[in-house]
Structure 1
Amino acid sequence: MSVEIALVGARVRYGPLEALHGVDLAVPRGSVTVLLGRNGAGRTTALRALAGSVPLSAGRVLWRGADVTRLSAHRRARLGLAFVPDRRPVFGSLTVAENLALFTDGGQGPALDPPEVSEVFEVFPALRPLLGRRAGTLSGGEQRMLAVSRALLTRARLVLLDEPGLGLSPRAAAHAYGALAGLTAGGGRTVVVAEQRLPAALRPATTVVHELRRGEVVFTGEPAERPE
């Protein structure tokens, strides 16, 4: 199985505290990978390290075999990586329509109602009446729907999301996970999700689970192999 991106001996420090202790983990290409762990386990830091939003104090990030450790987050984005963080995931000063338009072909605006945006409304119908609202005025759950929608619209080959179901109703979360799994259909794109628990709706599509605890990987394998 080909590897899309990997951490090799990754260490991350926040001041005097080390959040990752020499983590090794690989993300298979064209599949869904889930980083599991409680708050403080290191799953969010591992995701940010892959995205380039936190620097490594030691170790490497390899993307399709190339060392991208020193590449900034925006340069990784230009190479085809999309990252949806857990905090401030949308452009608050822009409307919902403007946020979505940034990720459609040409970014020419909501009046065009491109087909891909219509598909987003099938996943999150509650967004359609909010098109004219500024994203910063939305509730937490509405902002999360918008952030996941942007991930669905992006043409990036590698999509990283931190708790995409956070603040969503169970039904909306299930729709979100189903749509994200659909991105990998036919081995097209690769999705990495950080979660506290493995969502039931995502389990059938998940190829690999990496469980972290106190900054270390304590389990790597298929969902069915993981002890409950």
Structure 2
Amino acid sequence: MRVRRRHRALLAVTTAALALSLTACNGDDQAAATPTTGPDATASGPAATGVPADASPAEAPAGGEASKAPEASQKPKASAKPNGGGSANNTEAYAYKHPCAMRQLSLNVRQEGARRIIEVANTGASACGLDLLPAVALGDSSSADRSNSLHPLVPSGIGGPNHALLAGTKAYAVLDLNPGGKAGAKGIDEMNVLVSPSHMPNADTRSFPLGAGATVSGPKLGLYHGSVADAVASMRQADIAQR
């Protein structure tokens, strides 16, 4: 009987010791699972996910949107607009204040039947202003006296600013030597052209032969225009003698 009691007492002591050991182990496991303060706790907290600690899920950046630039910064910049011919000195306003000089122009005359197309090109880098029409005199190329030269009719009511000739553009004036198709005056074989008479000296006059078979009777001259068709229409309105 004493042996059994001692055996039971020893078994009870062993069981109690084992229970205490298990309780201590569970306590250590729970302590290891609980975050501690310091750097390790920060790395495992909300900030490690890229979301501020006090932000709600709706405030977190989605799909990498945080790496994109603001929409306004992605819009292309507006390009500079051309101004006239691309510079401040190639505008109509500039042309009105700066008369053309012969050195910045080229002059060509071509024949179309009884008509002569006077073509003036601005070969310079700046706009300039021409008179509204050229000065034209028709005469004898062999005569030293030009006082008897014939002058064409021009449109009446001429007025307004100069004809603006932008750099790289052309102006046209049309002279019809014989609009009525009548017998022409004798001894007229040359036309003399001063492109812009109120702004240029007589020394800038250029002479052109009329060619064989040309007849001159009641010639008409129109204003400068940007196209030959408009220059022809202006020529048809000629009704007074050019001075």
What is the TM-score of this pair, normalised by structure 2?
A: 0.21
Higher helix share: 1
Please identify the structure whose Cα radius of gyration is greater: 2
Higher strand share: 1
Larger RCO: Structure 1 or Structure 2 (Cα < 8 Å, ≥ 6 residues apart)? 1
What is the TM-score of this pair, normalised by structure 1?
A: 0.22
